[in-house]
Structure 1
Amino acid sequence: MKITLKVFRFNAETDYLPHYDTIEMQIDPKDVVLDVLNRIKWEHDGSFTYRRSCRHGICGSCAVKVNGRSTLACKERMVDMIELFGNELVIEPVSKKRVIKDMVVDKADFWKKYETVKPWLEAEIDEHPTMENIISPKEAEQLEEADYCIQCGCCYYACPVVEVNEDYLGPAAFEKAYRFTADVRDNAKKERLEIVDILGQGVWDCVKCYECAEACPKEIDPIGKITKLHNQIFEEGVAKNNVATRHAVGFKKSIEKHGILDEGHLVAYSEGFGVLKHIPEALEMFKKGKIVMPWNMPKSKNLDEIKKLIKTSSTVKF
């Protein structure tokens, strides 16, 4: 099978701008993306640089993008990429602005934020145990496979908030925080929740775009863990009375009252007196029918059913 590759090339030490090399090659149906990276280096240009290690999808070193799709090079079959995108493929690093050389990116900010949530178990242990510390299958299921994360960074570099907010910890750090806040053996649950509750860096700044879930090659669903952290923040009494937590409360109240979202009231409830600064935007929204007066607010035809769903699904007291 013949394919055409456009491969991102850049060396931070010598290049002013990046460029793309165009390479044509025949591939075997058994090849994965890593096989193609190897062949580019071995057969076309020995200076081509990328990371690799385990070749078993557990180290996260070989994360790259193929036609904009985050993937582990050692896991993704070329035939699947061709089926998705055709015979012309573009191979790029997971983050162009952090490139050191070719596919290798500087992950310093990733690891710094990752360490912020204390990604280790904190517990009083017997240094000389005589038996295993066994937890039940039900308790293990609470982790929801968060312990499968391999820190490849795909979700982090796919997150739009990370790109505009340098303080934001990002989905990988939040996923790891949840891995320990959900662990019954851990004694630092409240401390971690206080870290991820901080406005600007914490879970409240997630924009719910689901890019992290799309990018995760292990299908761990980081956005699901972020939602769990929201709930834990309330459950453990960590939540502070601020615009973020009021937004969560106001959202539920609006759906419970109308069955649909009252956006005007939600902003007023979340912002308090700060809503006055949004009057110009509110007027424009009103003109376009985006918000309505309270007495004209419609209600869902299925409001009774929605109220039952809220009652049965709500596990947290705000």
Structure 2
Amino acid sequence: MSTEHKITTQQVNFKVFRFNADEDYLPYYEDYSMEVTSEEVVLDILNRIKWDHDGSFSYRRSCRHGICGACAIKVNGRSTLACKESMNDMVDLFGSELTIEPLSIKRVVKDMIIDKGDFWEKHEAVQPYLVADIDENPETENLVSPEDADALDDADLCIQCGACHYACPAVAINEEFFGPAAFAAAYRFSADVRDNSEERLKTVNEMGQGVWDCVKCFECAEVCPKEINPIGKITKLHQMAFQEGIAENNVAVRHAVGFKKSIEKRGVLDEGGLVLYSEGPSIVKHIPVALRMFTKGKIAMPWAIPTSDNMDEIKKLVESSSTAKF
């Protein structure tokens, strides 16, 4: 017995970003109202705007199979791969009023097309290739075991769409910061058993540009169309830095160490103690904020911080999960 798939339609209003760097002084938005079917994805809407409303509307597209990453844009501020995102899901998430914008408004060349020069420069900076001594005339294959292949943790599936890069708030305010896609690439090759680069891990551990400036907002994990979880790779690069003994004694590294020590000591996070451990004497600059937090009940004195009733279990978990020396 076959079940017939029923196609549904709904009215959706689109507010679409428009700008031509060669002609326009300021960007503007154009409104389009369409009947959207349950079978359409966001890329279908971009096509319909160009084919049925304005032939000058510009955007990137290529494979339409979620492989190349060319059609990444933002819908209601959320980075998305246009060929993969269902319109039904977008309407369920945001309602029938949708704003379509490029990944980065300040980098727009024309409409949805942006200059991704910064993205590729940062990608190149992390040595996104194997560094290894090879035999030009090998007699056997350079085999990689399934276990070693699994260690890459799907980082090799990244399609360089830029969705995570331009969703990252650290990238938005810090031009030096490499960004989650570059870190995923750095992990992919640093975790490869065939690689012997000594510089890559040092490069991504530099303050300002490296993994220690990640703010742990999880935006990269939320928007990745391939579900690669870039922040997971950033955490593993932290661990590799400790394992290789190249983690420097700076605020960010001490913050990671202090977090572990706090959980190990009480089973809960002592936020005031964490700041003191991380910043040392320079903590005095935070006193005004700390006092306001204290009056609002957002911070507790050291003697008022509770200790978990399950410390034996917590200490075992910390010991079993800590694979690197701090």
2:126 is aligned, of 92, 117, 138, to 117
2:302 is aligned, of 280, 294, 315, to 294
SS of the aligned residue for 2:48 comes to helix
1:21 is aligned, of 22, 30, 35, to 30
**1:10 paired to 2:10:** no
SS of the aligned residue for 2:245 comes to coil
1:223 is aligned, of 199, 208, 231, to 231
* Structure 2 counterpart of 1:314: 322
Q: Deviations over 1:51-82 (max 9, x none)?
A: 11122211111001122222111112223323
SS of the aligned residue for 1:21 comes to strand
AA aligned to 2:264 is E
* Structure 2 counterpart of 1:47: 56
Q: Deviations over 1:256-291 (max 9, x none)?
A: 111111122211111122223333333333333444
SS of the aligned residue for 1:49 comes to coil
1:169 is aligned, of 154, 178, 182, to 178
**1:99 paired to 2:108:** yes
Aligned-residue offset at 1:21: 1.4
Give ranges in structure 2 of 5+ residues lacking alignment: 1-8
* Structure 1 counterpart of 2:248: 240
**How far apart, in 2, do the equivalents of 1:173 and 1:166 lie?**
14
| Preserved CA contact (<8 Å) 1:52 1:62 | yes
| Preserved CA contact (<8 Å) 1:11 1:102 | yes
* Structure 2 counterpart of 1:213: 221
**How far apart, in 1, do the equivalents of 2:150 and 2:97 lie?**
42
Tell me whether 277-286 or 62-71 shows the greater mean CA deviation: 277-286
| Preserved CA contact (<8 Å) 1:70 1:217 | no
**How far apart, in 1, do the equivalents of 2:48 and 2:287 lie?**
59
Aligned-residue offset at 1:252: 0.7
**How far apart, in 1, do the equivalents of 2:321 and 2:155 lie?**
22
Residues 118-267 of structure 1 correspond to what in structure 2 (within 5 A)?
A: 118-188=127-197, 190-267=198-275
* Structure 2 counterpart of 1:90: 99
| Preserved CA contact (<8 Å) 1:196 1:202 | yes
Tell me whether 235-244 or 297-306 shows the greater mean CA deviation: 297-306
Aligned-residue offset at 1:314: 1.2
SS of the aligned residue for 2:58 comes to coil
**How far apart, in 2, do the equivalents of 1:199 and 1:291 lie?**
28
AA aligned to 1:212 is C
Tell me whether 288-297 or 199-208 shows the greater mean CA deviation: 288-297
Aligned-residue offset at 1:175: 0.7
Tell me whether 211-220 or 242-251 shows the greater mean CA deviation: 242-251
| Preserved CA contact (<8 Å) 1:71 1:154 | yes
SS of the aligned residue for 2:80 comes to strand
SS of the aligned residue for 1:155 comes to helix
**How far apart, in 2, do the equivalents of 1:242 and 1:186 lie?**
28
AA aligned to 1:223 is I
Give ranges in structure 1 of 5+ residues lacking alignment: none
| Preserved CA contact (<8 Å) 1:175 1:226 | yes
Aligned-residue offset at 1:32: 2.0
Normalising by structure 2, we get a TM-score of 0.92
**How far apart, in 2, do the equivalents of 1:31 and 1:298 lie?**
53
**How far apart, in 1, do the equivalents of 2:35 and 2:12 lie?**
6
Aligned-residue offset at 1:293: 3.6
Q: Deviations over 1:135-186 (max 9, x none)?
A: 1100000000000001100001111111111111111111110001110011
SS of the aligned residue for 2:29 comes to strand
Tell me whether 64-73 or 247-256 shows the greater mean CA deviation: 64-73
SS of the aligned residue for 1:212 comes to helix
TM-aligned CA distance change 1:10 to 1:130, over 3 Å: same
RMSD between superposed Cα atoms in Å: 1.6
